[in-house]
Amino acid sequence: MLKIGLTGGLACGKSFVGEALASYGCYLIRADELGHQALARGGTAFEPAVAEFGRDILDPAGEIDRRRLAARVFGDAEALARLNRLVHPAVQRREEQLMAEFAAREPQGIAVVEAAILIENGRYKNFDRLILVTCSEEQQVARAIHRGGLDEAEVRARLSRQMPLAEKRKFADFVIDTSGAKQETLRQTRAVYETLRRIEI
């Protein structure tokens, strides 16, 4: 099985590229979704997160309000690091379990892990190839605002804490630029997929 990392900055289009790769036959694992599962009530990180950050991060239904939690940690590097220490091990364990299940079913298949900070945490080294999704910073801001939930100041604050895309390029085997039309992004994605299919496992 070929293990592929898919990463990029905020609102660069990772999910769009991931969905395209899945439609071509890749097995897609979304780290964000696994993180949400870990923080959901009954998940492995739920009780530790409530103990760490207090019951005021809960919504009326008793679930963690992710926006409230995000507001608590994204302005505080140490708080964010504490949250990551609670969530990331659970996410990695689940990723490894899912990839092992997929490898057993499709030894010649391609597994893609979509995650925002594969480079920053050094996990990019665990993959056979790394795909970086990029666009301009102004597009990141516009897309993140359009997606809802954040205003421009919040978006720019988050971007300021991320590794610059130009720096991430140094680690990437493939770069997909989503600045243009969706069809152009799909053309690039398909070309990367065809190259991946030719790699001997």
Among 92, 108, 124, residue at a domain's last position: 108
Q: In terms of DSSP H, where are the helices of the chain?
A: 14-23, 31-39, 46-53, 66-73, 77-105, 137-147, 152-160, 165-168, 182-197
Q: What is the mean pLDDT of the chain?
A: 93
Give me the amino acid identity at 180: G
Contact assessment for residue 118 and residue 124, using Cβ atoms and an 8 Å cutoff:
yes
| Number of domains forming the structure of the chain | 2
Query: Is residue 64 pLDDT above 90, yes or no?
Result: yes
Give the domain CATH number at 77.
3.40.50.300
Give the pLDDT confidence score for residue 150 in this predicted structure: 77
Tokens 């991430």 -> residue: 168
Residues 140 and 125 in one domain: yes
Residues 119-153: pLDDT tens digits? 988 999 999 999 999 999 999 999 999 887 778 98
The verdict on 93 and 33 lying in the same domain is: yes
Look at residues 108, 136, 152 and tell me which one is the last residue of a structural domain.
108
Judge if 43 and 64 occupy the same domain: yes
Per-residue pLDDT tens digits for 99-123: 999 999 999 999 999 998 899 889 9
User: 2 by DSSP, 3-state: which?
Assistant: strand
Same domain for 117 and 198, yes or no, is yes
In terms of residue numbers, what domain contains 72? 29-108
Which of 108, 143, 171 is the last residue before a domain boundary? 108
Instruction: Please check whether residues 195 and 101 belong to one and the same domain.
Output: no
